[in-house]
Amino acid sequence: EVQLVQPGAEVKKPGESLKISCKGSGYNFNGHWIGWVRQMPGKGLEWMGIIYPGDSDTRYSPSFQGQVSISADKSINTAYLHWGSLKASDSGMYYCARVSGYSYGRLGGFDYWGQGTLVTVSS
């Protein structure tokens, strides 16, 4: 059974750094892109970026490029989303999700989702 496990919540102060995790199990972690999605309170889903753990190839949405970094440690089947200096506006729910894979040369969408990590940034 494919599972993506995330911590439930993180509380930080503005200016602090944060790295949230997403541990995959039940599938070949190295062989699937894995991505991050933000959802601000009461708002829609925002695609942040994806990483291919096999070779660490990464794609970022222009909206998030330079704001966060995405990494993966394939030795422990875990992807990460990292902020160097948090702002209050980074507060929100962050989901990790697995990309299904390629079909006829085109990338599929997210097929499995984590439960989300609620990030609260407040002084």
Partner 1 sequence: NFMLTQPHSVSESPGKTVTISCTRSSGSIASNYVQWYQQRPGSSPTTVIYEDNQRPSGVPDRFSGSIDSSSNSASLTISGLKTEDEADYYCQSYDSINRGVFGGGTKLTVL
Nearer to partner 1, 64 or 80 (CB): 64
Q: Among residue numbers 38 through 67, which ones bind partner 1 (CB under 8 A)?
A: 44-47, 49-50, 59-62
Please tell me the count of residues contacting partner 1 according to CB under 8 A: 26
Instruction: Report d(CA 74, CA 63) in Å as an integer.
Output: 26
For position 8 contacting partner 1 by CB under 8 A, the verdict is no
**List of residues 6+ apart from 66 with CB closer than 8 A:** none
For position 9 contacting partner 1 by CB under 8 A, the verdict is no
Instruction: Report d(CA 63, CA 66) in Å as an integer.
Output: 9
> What is the three-state SS of 51-96?
EECCCCEEEECCCCECCEEEEEEHHHCEEEEEECCCCHHHCEEEEE
For position 35 contacting partner 1 by CB under 8 A, the verdict is yes
**Nearest distance from residue 13's CB to partner 1, in Å?**
27
Q: Which residues bind partner 1 (CB under 8 A)?
A: 35, 37, 44-47, 49-50, 59-62, 95, 97, 100, 103, 106-111, 113-116
